[in-house]
Amino acid sequence: MMLLRLGTVLLLLGAGMLYSVRAGKLTPGAALTGGLLGGLIYLGGGFGGLSMLAAFFLLGSAASGWHLAEKRRSGLAEENKGRRTAGQVVANAGVAALAGLASWWWPAQATAFQLLLAGSFAAATADTLASELGNIYGRRYYNILTLRLDTRGLNGVVSLEGTLCGVAGSALIAGLYSLSFGWGREVGWLVLAGTIGNLADSVLGATLERQHRLSNNAVNFLNTLVGGVVAGLCYWVG
């Protein structure tokens, strides 16, 4: 049974890596990095953890490609034709992988680390959907710090529509978590964690990233870390 599960995981990860490279979603190095991180996520999160990883990847890819021609005309399309690098993969899934490893290493605290893993993906998904879809459907764009009108696409600029898309992304991750680990108040915790992580990303973007003190990858990593920590705090306090 264990060999069957291991074979299934390797098959899923291998298929995902191959597809991502052939479809132009990831560079070869990024695909290899994603496969390694996916293995760590499975160690502590099982197939539930992999489902959240897959959901983030598929939603992020779809959102990045949505109305791509319009984004290119407006200068909002991602660099390198949207193909993610290894650094971007670590920025978005590194915290989840560390949480998966911790869950496997300290099984007595597995529940807390699995929730932290889900919180990091909730934040990553919220940030991606908020920025990619907000740039298309937003009507007014505001600086997260001053709440004054600002330029669409700049770091730290948000819209109501984009923020709501981010909340929906967090809710989807919360649903996937609950399907694997059980329904309860964790759903609300994860939506909260994803939303706070997304807002933290915007604050960092409006400050340290605009000042060129942090790279976009660093900001994304901190976004997922905030989401994971908030989910973990909800668990320990609640």
> How do the pLDDT tens digits run along the chain, 238 residues long?
667 777 888 888 989 899 999 988 899 999 999 999 999 999 999 999 999 999 999 999 999 888 777 877 777 766 666 689 999 999 999 999 999 999 999 999 999 999 999 999 999 999 999 999 999 999 999 999 999 999 999 999 999 999 999 999 999 999 999 999 999 999 999 999 999 999 999 999 999 999 999 999 999 999 999 999 999 999 999 7
Task: Write down the pLDDT at residue 5.
Answer: 79
- CA-angle at 114, arms to 8 and 170, nearest 5°: 95
Closest Cα partner for 19 from 61, 71, 78, 72?
61
**DSSP strand pairing (157-158 vs 142-143):** antiparallel
Task: Write down the pLDDT at residue 77.
Answer: 63
| Cβ neighbours of residue 45 closer than 8 Å, sequence gap 6 or more | 52, 96, 99, 100, 103, 114, 117
Task: Write down the pLDDT at residue 191.
Answer: 98
Query: pTM to 2 decimals?
Result: 0.94
